[in-house]
Chains A and B, each alone.
Chain A
Amino acid sequence: MIRHHIGMAFIWIGIVFDFLGVLGLLRLPDVYNRLQAGTKCITFGSAGLLFGIFILKGFTTFGFKVLLGIAFIFLTSPVAAHAIARASRRSGIPLCGESVVDLYPGERKSEEDTTHAPAKNS
C-alpha cells in the first residue's frame, strides 16, 4: 500500500516536470533556452516517471526493462543535447536579445560588439 503511494507520487512528479518542460519549450525566446528547458526538465521528468513505475512493479521483467530505460535516457539525452547545441551555435543561429555573455570561442561575426567578450591575454 505504501509502495503504491510512493510510486504514484514519483509518477505525478514526472508528469508535472514533463508538462513544465514542454511549456518552457513553447514559451522561451531562444533556441538555447528552449534546449535547456526541454532537455533538463524532460530528462528528469521521464526518469522520475520510469522510477515510479519501477517502484510499482518491483523486481520483475518489466521493472528491469524500466531500469534499463532510465540508464539509457541518462546516457543518451545529454550527448544529443550537446551535439544539437554545438551544431546550432556553429551554424550561426544568434542568441536572443536579452543575452548577457557569450563565451563560445568560435568565429565571431561582429567585431565591434566585444564588450562582454572574455579577455584574450588572461
Chain B
Amino acid sequence: MRVVRWFVGLILLAVLAYLNFFVFRAPLLVKLINVSLFSALFVLYRVVFGPSPADRVIAVDILGVLIIGLLALLGLFYDQGFFMDIALIWALLSFVASLALAKVLEGRRLDD
C-alpha cells in the first residue's frame, strides 16, 4: 500500500514537472516561480493538516524563508528593487513570529 502511494505521488510530480517545463509556454523565470509556488502550496498542506501544533509552527517558519526566495525571483523577473524590501520585512516578521510561537508552544508567557 505504501509502495502504491509512493508511485502515485511520483507520477503526479512527474506530470506536474512535464506540464510546467515542456507544455506551458512562458519565459524560464516564470517556470521557476511556478516551482516555488508549488513548494509553498505543499507547505500550506502541512500547515492545514499537520497532526501536531509543532508541525504547523515549523511549516509557518519554513514558509517565511520560502517566500523570501519567491519575492527575490519576482524582483528579478520584473527588474524592480522594491520586492527585496518586502522580502527583508517578511524575514523580520517571520523571525519574530517564529520565536513568539515557540514560546507559546512551550507553555511560557510572552513576557517571561
Chain A residues with CB under 8 Å of chain B are 8, 11-12, 14-15, 18-19, 21-23, 25-26, 31, 34-35, 38-39, 42-43, 45-46, 49-50, 53, 56-57, 61-62, 65-66, 68-69, 72-73, 76-77, 79-81, 83-84, 86-88, 90-91, 93
Contact of A77 among B65, B105, B106 (CB under 8 A): B65
- Main secondary structure on B side of the interface with A: helix
The B28-55 residues at the A interface (CB cut-off 8 A) are 28, 32, 35-36, 38-39, 42-43, 45-46, 52, 54-55
Give the complex CA separation of A2 and B1 in angstroms.
48
A-B pairs under 8 A by CB, number: 134
Closest 4 CB pairs of A and B: A88-B54, A87-B106, A65-B84, A80-B98
Q: Evaluate contact between B58 and A72: CB separation under 8 angstroms.
A: no
Give the complex CA separation of A65 and B81 in angstroms.
8
Q: Evaluate contact between B54 and A91: CB separation under 8 angstroms.
A: yes
Which residues of chain A are near B57, meaning CB under 8 Å?
84, 87-88
Q: Evaluate contact between A81 and B106: CB separation under 8 angstroms.
A: no
Which residues of chain A are near B39, meaning CB under 8 Å?
18-19, 22
Which residues of chain B are near A91, meaning CB under 8 Å?
54, 105-107
Contact of B65 among A11, A42, A66, A68 (CB under 8 A): A42
Q: Evaluate contact between A66 and B84: CB separation under 8 angstroms.
A: yes
Which residues of chain A are near B36, meaning CB under 8 Å?
15, 18
Number of chain B interface residues as a range: 35 or more
Chain B residues with CB under 8 Å of chain A are 28, 32, 35-36, 38-39, 42-43, 45-46, 52, 54-55, 57-59, 61-62, 65-66, 68-69, 72-73, 75-76, 81, 84-85, 87-88, 91-92, 94-95, 98-99, 101-103, 105-107
